[in-house]
């Protein structure tokens, strides 16, 4: 007959968790054990109860972010700017990639009303004077960052909801561990007193 395979670590953890949650009518269960079970149930329940609220927060954030993205996409457009000077060179550093980072340089571009605007844009240091670069402008013709996308809105909402839920779960876990540590200290002190009392009774007898 083949021996039963060893219980995986995850199964052992679940078994201990099950025992903590089901003290039942165990006469050896102390008040501190029952309090620990109650706190454990709360620590497990709070993240579950928070899930629909976190989902609603994520949905609301997504809706708001999509509105912002749509507003930016409708009020911003991409145009071409002509560099009025050669971009300044970037001093070499320990990271060669830093030499390829865009740098500010003066440029001229056309505004939505047909006028000409002059200002600062970001360009590759390898560009030359007179080179053309793409920039985003708003309705007034000012250079602005690229508009948000609905994909980015979805990622932002998901990241926020996940972060909030994890904070709730971690806070609940830390609260349980803190209570458990306090109860363990109290149990140890009580065991110590009972042991000392037992030793005194043995000496007296």
pLDDT at 94: 46
- Is the pLDDT reported for residue 16 higher than 50? yes
Residue 141 DSSP class: S
19-78 pLDDT tens trace: 555 555 555 556 777 788 888 889 999 999 999 999 999 999 999 999 999 999 999 999
What percent of the chain is modeled with pLDDT above 90? 56
Name the residue ranges covered by the structural domains of the chain: 31-70+151-204, 77-145
Q: Which residues pair with 135 in a beta bridge?
A: 79
Using alpha carbons, list the distances in angstroms from residue 173 to 10, 140, 165.
18, 52, 12
Mean pLDDT of all residues in the chain?
A: 84
Helix, strand, coil abundance in the chain, percent, nearest 5: 60, 15, 25
pTM, full prediction: 0.65
Give the model's pLDDT for residue 1: 46
């Amino acid at each position: 007959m083949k021996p039963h395979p060893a219980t995986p670590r995850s199964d052992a953890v679940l078994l201990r968790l099950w025992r903590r949650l089901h003290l039942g009518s165990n006469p050896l269960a102390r008040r501190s054990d029952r309090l620990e079970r109650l706190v454990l149930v709360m620590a497990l329940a709070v993240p579950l109860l928070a899930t629909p609220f976190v989902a609603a927060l994520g949905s609301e954030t997504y809706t708001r972010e999509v509105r912002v993205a749509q507003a930016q996409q409708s009020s911003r457009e991409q145009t071409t700017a002509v560099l009025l000077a050669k971009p300044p060179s970037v001093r070499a550093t320990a990271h060669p990639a830093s030499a390829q980072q865009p740098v500010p340089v003066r440029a001229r571009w056309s505004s939505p009303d047909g006028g000409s605007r002059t200002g600062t844009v970001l360009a590759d240091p390898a560009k030359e004077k007179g080179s053309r670069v793409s920039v985003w402008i708003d309705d007034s013709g000012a250079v602005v960052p690229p508009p948000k996308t609905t994909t980015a809105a979805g990622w932002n909402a998901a990241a926020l909801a996940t972060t909030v839920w994890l904070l709730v779960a971690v806070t609940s876990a830390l609260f349980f561990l803190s209570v458990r540590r306090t109860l363990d200290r109290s149990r140890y002190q009580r065991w110590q007193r009972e042991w000392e009392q037992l030793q005194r009774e043995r000496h007296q007898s």
